[in-house]
Chain A
Amino acid sequence: MSIAKDAKQLVQGAVQGLMAKAVALAPDSWMPGGEPDPLIRARHGHVGQAISRLDGPLKVSGQAPFAAEFPMEGMVYAALVFSTIPRGRIIDVETGEAEASPGVVAVMTYRNAPRIAPPPIMLSSSKAAGGDDLPVMQEDIVRWNGEPVAVVLAETQEQADHAATLVHFSYSTERALTDFAEARAAGTRVGMFMGQPLHMEVGDAEAALADAPVSIDATYLTPRHNHNAIELHAVTAAWNGDELRIHDASQMVAHTAWSLGHIFGLEDDKVVITSPFVGGGFGGKALWQHQVLAAMAAKVCGRPVRLVLSREGVYRVVGGRSSTEQRLALGADRDGRLKALIHTGTTMKTAHNVMPEPFILPTMSAYASEAITLDVQVVELDMLANTFMRAPGESVGTFALESAMDELAEALGMDPVELRIRNEPEKDPTSGLPFSSRNIVEAWRTGAQRFGWDRRNPVPGAVRDGEWLVGMGCATGTYPYHRMPGGAARITITADGHASVDIAAHEMGMGTSTAQTQVVADRLGLPMEAISFRYGDSTLPGLVMAGGSQQTAAIGAAVIAAHRDLVKELLKIAGNDSPLAGLKSDEVAGRDGGLCKIDEPERHETYASILARAGQASVSVAAEAPMPLETQHWSMHSHSAMFCEVRVNAVTGEPRVSRFLGAFDCGRILNPKTAASQFRGGIVMGLGLALMEEAQFDERKGRVMNPSLSEYHVPVHMDVPEIDVIWTDIPDPRTPMGARGIGEIGITGTGAAVANAIYNATGKRVRDLPITLDKLL
Chain B
Amino acid sequence: MTPFRYSRAADVADALRQGAASGARYLGGGTNLVDLMRESIERPDALVDVTGLGRAIEGTPEGGLCIGAGVRNTALAEHPVVRSRYPALSRAIVAGASAQIRNMATVGGNLLQRTRCSYFYDDDGSRCNKRLPGQGCDALEGFNRNHAILGASPSCIAVHPSDMAVALAALDAVVHLKGTGGDERSFPVADLHRLPGVRPDVDTLLEPGELITAIELPPLPFAARSTYRKVRDRSSYAFALVSVAAAVEMADGRIRDLRIALGGVAHKPWRAFKAEEVLRGGTPNAAAFAAAADAELADAKPLAGNGFKIELARRTIAAVLGELVGDAA
Contacts and interface: CB of A to CB of B under 8 A. Distances in A.
Interface in A685-701: 691-692, 696, 698, 700-701
B126 A705 contact: yes
Nearest to B308: A774
A179 to B, nearest CB: 13
Contact of B234 (A161, A467, A706, A719): A719
A715 B118 contact: no
B270 to A, nearest CB: 18
A703 B126 contact: yes
Interface stretch (B50-58, B182-190, B209-217, B312-320): B312-320
A165 interface: yes
Q: Which of A651, A692, A713 has the most CB of B within 10 A?
A: A651
Nearest to A101: B3
B317 to A, nearest CB: 10
Given A698-B142, A705-B142, A710-B116, A719 B308 contact: no
Interface string A513-526: 00000000000000
Interface residues of B, number: 34
B235 A162 contact: no
Contacts of B241: 773-774
B316 A651 contact: yes
Instruction: Classify the secondary structure of B's interface with A.
Output: loop
A654 B232 CA distance: 7
Interface string A641-655: 000000000011110
A692 B234 contact: yes
Interface string B219-244: 00000000000011111111001000
A718 B121 CA distance: 27
B124 interface: yes
B236 A652 contact: no
Contacts of A145: 125
A772 interface: yes
B118 to A, nearest CB: 4
A773 B316 contact: no
B316 A652 contact: yes
B40 interface: yes
A103 to B, nearest CB: 10
B146 to A, nearest CB: 9
Interface in B227-263: 231-238, 241
A700 B234 contact: no
B141 interface: yes
Contacts of A719: 234-236
A483 B219 CA distance: 71
B143 A696 contact: yes
Given A652-B312, A696-B118, A777-B308, A701 B235 contact: no
Nearest to B146: A711
Contact of B1 (A158, A654, A696, A711): A158
A42 B172 CA distance: 73
A703 B315 contact: no
B116 A161 contact: no
Contacts of A158: 1
B233 A706 contact: no
B282 to A, nearest CB: 22
A719 B116 CA distance: 22
Interface in A753-777: 772-774, 777
Interface in A701-743: 701, 703, 705-706, 708, 710-711, 713, 715-719
Given A651-B316, A698-B138, A717-B236, 12 more contacts: A165-B2, A165-B40, A651-B319, A656-B235, A696-B143, A700-B142, A708-B121, A710-B116, A718-B234, A773-B241, A773-B312, A777-B311
9 contacts: A102-B3, A158-B1, A691-B234, A698-B143, A701-B126, A706-B118, A713-B234, A718-B234, A773-B241
